[in-house]
Chain A
Amino acid sequence: MLHWLTLMADSLPSLLWAALVFTVPLTLASFALGLVVGLAAAVVRLFGPAPLAAIVRFYVWIIRGTPLLVQLFLIFYGLPSAGIVLDAFPAALIGFTLNVGAYTSEIIRAVIGSVPKGQWEAAYSIGMSWSQAMRRTILPQAARVAVPPLSNSFISLVKDTSLAAAITVPELFQAAQRIVATSYEPLILYVEAALIYLALSSVLSALQVRLEKRLNQYGGFLEAKS
């Protein structure tokens, strides 16, 4: 028992370091970039010309229909055969960004569509352009509805970054694997890694609650009431 605790304490710094230097930046960067991709893809699907919308549909179909691990392998191990050689971290960043982009585009498309059409008309009626209406009227209302499903994607992403271990990114899970290789204590090390992932997702869940509270202050969509 004491031996286990010592092992945990000894390995904690390297695991935390791996989380801090790889897991967290990879998560934040690919989620931020993925949201940009997702918003663009959603807008194209909702408002863009048919050929562009078809390309976006194809992108979402491919990403959602194939395993994330296979996508990462294709980018890191497959692309070099086509003359594109990427380091492990950028390869993972691209893979996760494309993945987040595809899933969040569906969420964003749905929440933009959930804002009543009358809100567009009200915005136009006071002279707003399409982009002003989008930015000032539609997106702020859509954002509120989007927080719970987007938080789901975000929390999934934190855990999914462990797949980057398979393409040699020395992130949290790979750091644990390395220590297991020398200590032969898989149970302890993997429990420890799991606890760190749990802590990270708990922080995100707490942030989600605070964000929802802030966005809920105005009480939601207006229904016609007399």
Chain B
Amino acid sequence: MIRLSNIEKRFGDLTVLKGVSVTVAEGRVTALIGPSGGGKSTLLRCINLLEIPTSGTVRIGEEELSFQPGGKPGWKDIQRLRGQTGMVFQNFQLFPHRTAVENVMEGLVTVQKWPAEKARDRAMALLRKVGMDHKADAWPATLSGGQQQRVAIARALAPSPRVLLCDEPTSALDPELSGEVVEVLGTLAAEGTTMVMATHDLRLASRIAHEVVFLDAGQVVESGPSQTLFSHPTRERTQRFIATLTQQGQQGEGV
């Protein structure tokens, strides 16, 4: 279980998250949706501490860490929590100087000190899972965006994280390429991978997410099972936002 309690994040005078609490059950997929600047990416990055919350508590499984304004968490504590997570980025962020399979091996070899052969076996298995084993020795620069993102998903999964965090995993891709990424994420979801994703992609959210959390202006406006929230949002703000997403989606499909 992942529990974010009362997360507040301030950048100088700007308060991006105003006491957000979200609980994610094991084996479930939660989509964070909302307008740009609403805080969904920041919230996601607070889970693996790429952003350190100003205050609040982050709990992942047995590991828990609390934050206070002015207090800086220790490196060991950050690693303890971050080790429970894997992350997929909007712009993939593969290591360009390593081949696809080396990208996936990197965490296992460098951080977990696995022998190279064992790491390669696991990396190949993961590449097969995302349909990229035939490109194992390719340089990232030679892969399409969708292929890069699939390798990035394999890299994030390599250390067997308790939760996979996806930050706008399809936003940098055209509809066709994002389709192959949605498919891979859908397979993972069906296998019971716990995921939290920040997304604008209605197709991704409605197809994969079990729960949806709608964030606006740093606060949770509404949350609930994705079916209910997408078809019968109760808050007027949520209705308006979902209406715009649906419009965009239809235009996108039409093209």
Partners in one complex: yes
Interface residues of A (CB under 8 A from B): 116, 118-119, 121-129, 132, 136-137, 140-141, 144, 217-222, 224-226
- Alpha-carbon distance A23/B156, docked complex (angstroms): 51
Are the CB atoms of A222 and B148 closer together than 8 Å?
yes
In the complex, chain A residues whose CB is within 8 Å of the CB of B173:
226
State whether A121 touches B156 (Cβ < 8 A). no
Interface size class of B (residues with CB under 8 A): 35 or more
B48 touches A222 (CB 8 A): no
Contacts A/B (CB < 8 Å), 24 sampled: A118-B89, A121-B50, A121-B87, A125-B86, A126-B106, A126-B111, A126-B158, A127-B83, A127-B111, A127-B112, A128-B107, A128-B110, A128-B111, A132-B110, A217-B139, A218-B98, A218-B139, A218-B141, A219-B139, A219-B142, A222-B92, A224-B172, A225-B144, A226-B172
Partner of B82, one of A118, A124, A141, A220: A124
Q: A126-B156, A224-B92 are in contact. List 13 more A-B contacts (CB 8 A).
A: A125-B48, A125-B156, A127-B82, A127-B111, A127-B112, A128-B107, A136-B110, A140-B97, A219-B141, A222-B93, A222-B96, A225-B144, A225-B145
Q: Which residues of B contact A (CB under 8 A)?
A: 48, 50, 75, 79, 82-83, 85-87, 89-98, 106-107, 110-112, 139-142, 144-145, 148, 155-156, 158-159, 172-174, 177
* B48, B112, B141: residue with the most chain A Cβ atoms closer than 10 Å: B141
Q: Which of A124, A217, A220, A226 has the most CB of B within 10 A?
A: A226
Residue of A nearest to B158 (CB): A126
